[in-house]
Structure 1
């Protein structure tokens, strides 16, 4: 039903467009969004809030779903994703800024509709990405759309990167234009401290999603993914240490796997496991956590930036390499603490806690690979880059 409604709204906005010139004339409109209008987080959030504070001369709108749980958390001006106004403002915008794609975050399906997709060429298109390129090779959720998505990536005017490593992937693996990839840093890193002690001794656990589980008709509780996570979180020795040291593990289920969160909750025995809501401001949890546990999430790169310990619990590494693969060699280029089963993960996490959250040398040495800048001026550089493209 949504697709039909979106199509009707974009067609109506298309016919309204010629008669709306007076309404939009000389307005400096920028649209921004992320996570398909559902979540207020990541690079888009921090760049949006920077713009609200520092550049009031820009008329900027956050694009959001009408039924989003975080609707009231979003400050400033909002547009309902897929509405007539959304498309009309898109057709009259000077810049669109997104973390996933214009179709997902800004103007649903418009890029794929002949004639109507002529508006895709009009604004400056800014791809902020939603995490540093690292442990997940890019591929479309549906292989039928690969060419369409490849063409979309090549059409972006600006794609932000944090390092030469990231730019190299975008240009040589994704076939993006070298001129479009700008090493300016991630907007969300402006919110992160470096070399400061965390607010708490709590540990953030962020396993990433698996498409072969999400789209499988089998029972989630029968999967190795579920069993390995539960073996780790319910380990008696680990929970005794957490209790003794007054430390919590905060568990954030990836938003694309959140439908299975109740299966995890219902089987937890430890009292020190706290479950974070899908709509939580993840950046705040990252900032105040003392360490990160993950498998292949780019959240680990945020902890690398902050110089805080990371435990990689990669219980399905062979399957992951086969089905997803990584831009970082998972066999030879890893850093931090590594575990491949629940016993190893428990012991290495206890080591991190007992060593007062000290960072391993091999992790410290990796920072220069991923970050050109460490000055909390990434948003400023992104803005300057957009402005220069608009002025051209």
Structure 2
């Protein structure tokens, strides 16, 4: 029903299009969004706020889902995703910017509808990605759509990368145009403090999601994922160390797995384990945290950028390689501290805390490989790259 409603709104906007050209005359309209319009965070958020502040000549609009809980947090102009107004502005936009895909973040289904998809071809499309290309190989959620998604990605006029390592993947493995990929740095990393102590001694734990669990038949509390996380967070030795050193672990369940958060909350025994809401501003939690625990999340790259320690707790590494795989070689290219079971994870995290949050040498060396820039000038580079390509 929702798809039919959006298709109806597309057609209604098309019928209005020739009669409302005057409203948009001489306007430089850019649309931007991310995370399917649900969350206000990540690369899109920081580029949006940079443009709002520094380029008043651009009429920029954030595209938000009507049911999003963060609508009131978003400054500037907003469009409700899938509305007639959304499509009308999309048809008159010069630039669209997105972290996932134009259909998910900007104009639902438009690129796939014959005749109407001419507007997809007309706009200048900028793919920001939603994080560093690192521990998750790109694949469609449904294999039947692989060719369609590959074609869609090749249609993007511009994409950003943080390093030559990333650009090589986007060009040689994803099939993107070499000229379209700009090594600019990651927009959200402009918000990350450099050479500055964190505001707290807290540790941010962000495990990534597993599609074989989310869409599987097994009860969540019977999974290896649940049991290994619980063994770690409830470990008596770890919780004594957290208490003795006045450190909290802030646990953030990936937004695609957040439906299971209560199963973890209800089984936690330690007083130093704190839970973050789905709608929390993750950028604030990242910048205020002294260290990171993850498994295969790209958030580790943000902590490497800030030169703060990372613990990888990879209890299901062989299963992960089989189901997802990684662009970073999980056997030979890892950095920071790596643990494969609960006891290793506990000992290595305690060592990070008691060492005063020292960073490993392997992490410092890796930083030079995975980042071309480390200067908080990424949004400016992205903006100038867009304008330069538009002018061509």
What TM-score bracket applies, with the shorter chain setting the length? Answer: over 0.9
Residues 210-257 of structure 1 deviation map (CA, whole Å, 9 limit, x = unaligned) = 000011132100100000000000001101111111110000100100
Q: Deviations 1:6-40 (Å, cap 9, x if unpaired)?
A: 11111111121111111111110000000000000
Distance of 1:184 and 1:92 partners within structure 2: 27
Aligned to 2:5: 5
Please give the alpha-carbon distance, in whole angstroms, between the structure 2 residues aligned to 1:3 and 1:279: 25
Which residue matches 1:273? 273
Q: Partner of 2:321 in structure 1?
A: 321
Instruction: Quote how far apart the aligned CAs of 1:389 are.
Output: 2.1
Unaligned runs of 5+ residues in structure 1 are: none
Conserved 8 A contact 1:32-1:60: yes
Corresponding residue SS for 2:151: helix
What is the TM-score normalised by the length of structure 2?
0.99
Cα distance in 2 between the residues matched to 1:194 and 1:342: 31
Matches within 5 A, 1:149-298: 149-298=149-298
Q: Secondary structure at the match of 1:366?
A: helix
What secondary structure does 1:293 align onto? strand
In the alignment, structure 2 segments of 5+ residues that lack a partner are none
Aligned residue runs from structure 1 range 38-57, under 5 A:
38-57=38-57
- Tell me how far apart the structure 2 counterparts of residues 72 and 390 of structure 1 sit (CA, whole Å): 32
Alpha carbons 1:29, 1:95 under 8 Å: kept? yes
Displacement of 1:390: 2.1
The separation in 1 between residues aligned to 2:46 and 2:275, in whole angstroms, is 24
What is the distance in 2 between the residues matched to 1:99 and 1:2?
A: 23
Deviation track 1:173-216 (CA, whole Å, cap 9, x = no partner) reads 00000000000110011111122111100000000000000111
Q: What residue in structure 1 maps to residue 381 of structure 2?
A: 381
Does the 8 A contact of 1:13 with 1:84 survive in 2? yes
Return the alpha-carbon distance in structure 2 between the equivalents of residues 365 and 190 of structure 1: 21
Matches of 1:85 and 1:16, distance apart in 2 = 10
- Cα offset, 1:276, TM superposition: 0.6
CA displacement at 1:120 relative to structure 2: 0.5
Q: How does 1:66-85 map to 2 (within 5 A)?
A: 66-85=66-85
Asked if 2 retains the 8 angstrom alpha-carbon contact of 1:94 and 1:390, the reply is no
Secondary structure at 2:7 match in 1: helix
Give the drift of 1:355.
Answer: 0.4
Partner residue, 2:87 = 87
Cα distance between partner residues in 2 of 1:277 and 1:70:
12
Aligned match of 1:27: 27
1:391 Cα deviation (Å)?
2.0
Task: State the match for 2:342 in structure 1.
Answer: 342
CA contact (8 A) 1:30 1:60 kept: yes
- The alpha carbon displacement at 1:56 in A equals 1.0
Give, in whole Å, the separation in 2 of the partners of 1:11 and 1:73.
31
Count of residues in correspondence between the two structures = 392
For residues 207 and 5 of structure 2, the distance between their equivalents in structure 1, rounded to whole angstroms, comes to 35
Cα distance in structure 2, aligned partners of 1:90 and 1:218 = 42
Aligned-partner SS, 1:159: strand
SS of the aligned residue for 2:97 comes to strand
Q: Quick one: distance in 2 between partners of 1:269 and 1:183? A: 45
Matches within 5 A, 1:337-376: 337-376=337-376
CA distances 1:339-382 after superposition (whole Å, capped 9, x unpaired): 00111101100000010100010100011111111111111111
1:33–1:97 Cα contact (<8 Å) kept: yes
The CA deviation at 1:387 is 1.1
Q: Aligned to 2:257, what secondary structure does the other structure show?
A: helix
Deviations 1:159-181 (A, max 9, x none): 00010000000000000000000
